[in-house]
Every structure is written in structure tokens, then in C-alpha cells.
Structure 1
Amino acid sequence: MCAYVLVADDDHKQADIIRRYLEREGHSVGLVFDGRAALEEIRRRMPDLVVLDWMMPRMDGLDVCRVLRTESDVPVLMLTARTEEDDLLLALDLGADDYMTKPCSPRELVARVRTLLRRTGRPAPPPVEAPPPPEPVFAVGTLTVDPGRFEVRVDGRLTECTPGEFRVLEVLAAAPGRVFTRKQILEHLHGIDRYVTTRTVDGHVMNLRRKIERDPTRPERLLTVYGVGYKMADVSVRDADHPRPAGTANPLDDEGVRRAR
């Protein structure tokens, strides 16, 4: 029997990506976009697990978790951009069973859901015999990043990248226009680069600019946001005359810079 997972996140595009990955795992998924709607849906149809964003309109994730724990023991996986230890401990103290810091890997999220369901004895999907469907290919203008093939193409030409460079590019290309701090990018490099610091991120960005920019000294794609970090320029309007390759996807277009969470 597959699980019913409720995803509560006011970022519609991110919620849809999570939904698609969970459905590939065999779960059924419900989506809501604010805290009150989350409580109403939980009371209407009790899920087997809740993926709960910290910062949402009408009622934030902490308040939802606080109320939920007076009514149910349903497992809660909290999503948060906060990285301070006190904040994370607060989420756990209020009843979250696990947490992930944003931006997070959808594949890791699915694995966390699987572990929580197994730990709590909730329904889990049967083993998947068929190979999983291909991962989405991120396209930003004439730049494409294919995680499944570990390929980067610029204007259709294959561009070689190291594992660290590829991971940085994948994170930024998945959310064009969104600013990532160096610390957020670092979280995606653990296990790829043996010793990682903010200087490591800067080095990868410098190398990537040599490979994907027409003029590395005047970058048009991989931009620095001074005092904050880096972002991938959203060139969807500028490059409208360049059609994307068939089968590519860019689920986070127009993400924009989101408020600090």
C-alpha cells in the first residue's frame, strides 16, 4: 500500500517538483499552499506524512506543527531555509520528526520520507521494479544541465565540468533568478569536494564562467550578488528566440529572490 503525503509549501513550483518526485516513488500526494489550508486538509483526510514548509502565509509551519501535535502523531518533515541550531532545535521540540534545509535535493527528500515512513510503521510503497523515469533537464536560455547524463551543453556544445562544478551549476540552473548564499551552495557540495569552504564555491564559479560565458570577465549567465552569493540569470525573455531542446524542463522559471526564511 502506498502512502498519502501532504505537501504544504507556498512555493507552488517547488511543491510541484516535490509532488512529482514523490509520485514517482509510488505515493499519492496532496498540495496546499498555506498553514491554515494544511490543517484543514489534515483534519479532512489524515495523511501518512506531512512535508511542511516553515514560512507560509496565514499560519507558519511551526504553528501548524504545534497545533498538529495536540491532535495527531502523523510524521512531519520540516523544510526550512533557517540554518541556526536554535531554530532547528525549536522545530524538533515542537514536534517535527525531521528537517531539511533549503534548497534541498528532491531525491534526498524522497529518501527522508521513505525513512520516516519505515520508522513510524506507516504505509510504504512496494519496491519499484522498473527503472525510475529520467530526471528533469534544466534549461536556461541556451544552457542545459542534464543531471541524469551528467552533461552540460552551451549552445548545443558539450562542456566538461568537474563533479563540484556540475553540482553548483545544477543548483543554480534549477532556480534561475533565485539568489543562493555561499553557505547554501556549500550544503550541496558535501560528499563531492573533500574539503569545502566558501573559497571552494568561488573557485567553482570562476571556473564555470570560463566554460559557459562568452566573456568570463563580464558574465551574463552566472551572476554575483554582492554581499550575498550567486544566482543564475533568468534569460527566458531575452532568449525567447532560442527554443529549448525537446524534453527539457525548467520547473523553477521566474522563481525570483525569496524572502529570508
Structure 2
Amino acid sequence: MTKILVIEDEKIIGEMISMYLTDEEFSVRRVETGRDGLEAVDAFGPDVILLDLMLPDMDGIDLCETVRRRFDTPIIVISMNTKVNERVRALNAGADDYMCKPFSMQELKARIGAAVRRYKPSLAAPAETAAAAADPDAAHGIGLDLQKRTVTVDGQPVETTFSEFELIKLLFEFPGRVFTRDELINTLRGIDSYVNDRAIDVHITNLRKKLEKNPKEPQYIKTVWGVGYKLALE
């Protein structure tokens, strides 16, 4: 399993990144200071480091230089600073990549995969294998292939948007669990920067039209009034 060290002192951003990468089957450790970051590089042995430049105890550029002198671990800087000279400073300090906040979580995952391929080709990004795909028979005719990112109904392929697939994937992983709209919004945040309660409702409506025999009386994607949605497979 690919190990990611997140050095980020902003709690909300750090937790969002950590939760997303954990869901994508990375092993994640997050710290909030440069000193803890240096200790974690030694103790955790990450395959990739995500480094915020604004840390409470030291300058991120200095930390990047320190890590690079001791390790060849790929470093991806994540920063609010969009200035070209700051990007150049980070790259000259030994960073392998630079991403400006806010960024797409899908792009972050892709950049991590690219860094791993360059430095450790034997390591694959977390595999979404066919074995992890749901059995269509067990799902009453609905099938998910996570590797190919396809959905089928009674064996027939169904076209979905990127956001629709991410939603049905989440519901499929936890059948019967009720997800609030906020939880579903967080799933898409970074993919769709304009996602809100109304957008979630629209995505669910579109999924019902594609998956349900009678979208007005859904068999699978159920509304839990006042809370959110769940996937019923029983």
C-alpha cells in the first residue's frame, strides 16, 4: 500500500485530504508541524510527501530542502501561493511538483500516482481491481466495475457522469448506510467546485432515471427524509 505523509496545519484541509486518500486505499499519516513532519519521514517512511509551505514552526521551503538532503522521497507542495517565483523556489528546493489550493482531489491522486511511478515503478497506485467491483447478481442487476469506471443494469452498460459515478460508488461501498447531503457534497468537492444541496439532488435524480425501472418509486436509491440518501440492495 502506498504511504502518504501529509504535512498540513490547516485542520479542515488536512482532514479532507487524509479522508479522501484513505478512501482511495492509501496509507495516510498527517502531521501539523515541520518538526513532526521530519520525525514522520523517518518513522513512517512515506512513498510521497504532501507539503504545505505555511507551517507554524518553520518555513516550508526550508523543510523541503532539509528533507531533500536526506531522502529522495517525492515531495508535492500544496500551497495557496500561486506566484511563479514561489513555485520556482519550491522546485529549486527539491520539490517534485507544486499544486495550488484549491485543487481537485482527483488531480492530486493522479499527481501522486505519477510521482510514485517515477520514483518507485514497482509500486502501483491503489488498485481498484475487478475483484472489488460489486457482483451484479448480488446487487439485483446493478453492477459496478471500479477499474473501468462503468455501471451496468442487468448486464447493459449505463452512461454516467464523473460525479454520478463517484456518488453511486460511495453508496455501493456502504449499502444501507444513510449519507447526509453534506457527506455527499464532500465526496464531490474538488471534482465539482459548485456542488451544493441542489446539485446532489439533481445527481440523484439523474442516477434514478438511469438505474431504476420506475424513477418515481425508486427501488435502490432511497430518500431518507430530513437526512439524505441510502442504497437499498435487500
* TM-based fold match above 0.5: yes
Query: Any stretches of 5+ residues in structure 2 without a counterpart?
Result: 134-145, 147-165, 172-178, 204-225
Q: Paired residue for 2:170, among 118, 123, 134?
A: 134
1:137 and 1:145 in contact (8 A); partners too: no
Specify which structure has the bigger relative contact order, considering alpha-carbon pairs within 8 angstroms and separated by 6 or more residues: 1
- Please list the CA deviations of residues 173-214 of structure 1 after superposition, one character each: whole Å capped at 9, or x if unmatched: xxxxxxxxxxxxxxxxxxxxxxxxxxxxxxxxxxxxxxxxxx
Task: Give the letter aligned to residue 69 of structure 1.
Answer: R
Change beyond 3 A, Cα 1:57–1:138: farther
Change beyond 3 A, Cα 1:51–1:137: farther
Query: Any stretches of 5+ residues in structure 1 without a counterpart?
Result: 160-242, 248-261
Q: Number of paired residues?
A: 161
Tell me how far 1:51 sits from its aligned partner: 0.6
TM-score, normalising length: structure 2: 0.59
Tell me how far 1:139 sits from its aligned partner: 3.6
Q: Which residue of 2 aligns with 1:83?
A: 82
Please tell me whether residue 94 in structure 1 is matched to residue 130 in structure 2. no
- Aligned residue for 1:124, secondary structure, equals coil
Q: Which residue of 1 aligns with 2:228?
A: 245
Q: Which residue of 1 aligns with 2:46?
A: 47
Please provide the CA RMSD for this pair. Answer: 3.4
Once the two structures are superposed, the pairs formed by residues 1-261 of structure 1 within 5 Å of their partners are 2-121=1-120, 123-129=123-129, 130=133, 131=146, 133-134=169-170, 139=182, 147=188, 153-154=197-198, 244-246=227-229
Q: Which has the larger radius of gyration?
A: 2
TM-score, normalising length: structure 1: 0.53
Q: Percent identity between the aligned chains?
A: 31
Change beyond 3 A, Cα 1:138–1:70: farther
- Aligned residue for 1:14, secondary structure, equals helix
**Quick one: distance in 2 between partners of 1:26 and 1:139?**
22
Change beyond 3 A, Cα 1:50–1:151: closer
1:138 and 1:146 in contact (8 A); partners too: no
Tell me how far 1:18 sits from its aligned partner: 1.2
**Quick one: distance in 1 between partners of 2:45 and 2:66?**
14
**Quick one: distance in 2 between partners of 1:137 and 1:111?**
28
**Quick one: distance in 2 between partners of 1:97 and 1:24?**
24
Change beyond 3 A, Cα 1:11–1:137: farther
2:180 and 2:229 in contact (8 A); partners too: no
**Quick one: distance in 2 between partners of 1:14 and 1:153?**
21
Tell me how far 1:59 sits from its aligned partner: 1.5
Tell me how far 1:56 sits from its aligned partner: 1.1
- Aligned residue for 2:127, secondary structure, equals coil
Tell me how far 1:138 sits from its aligned partner: 5.8
**Quick one: distance in 1 between partners of 2:21 and 2:127?**
14
Change beyond 3 A, Cα 1:138–1:119: farther
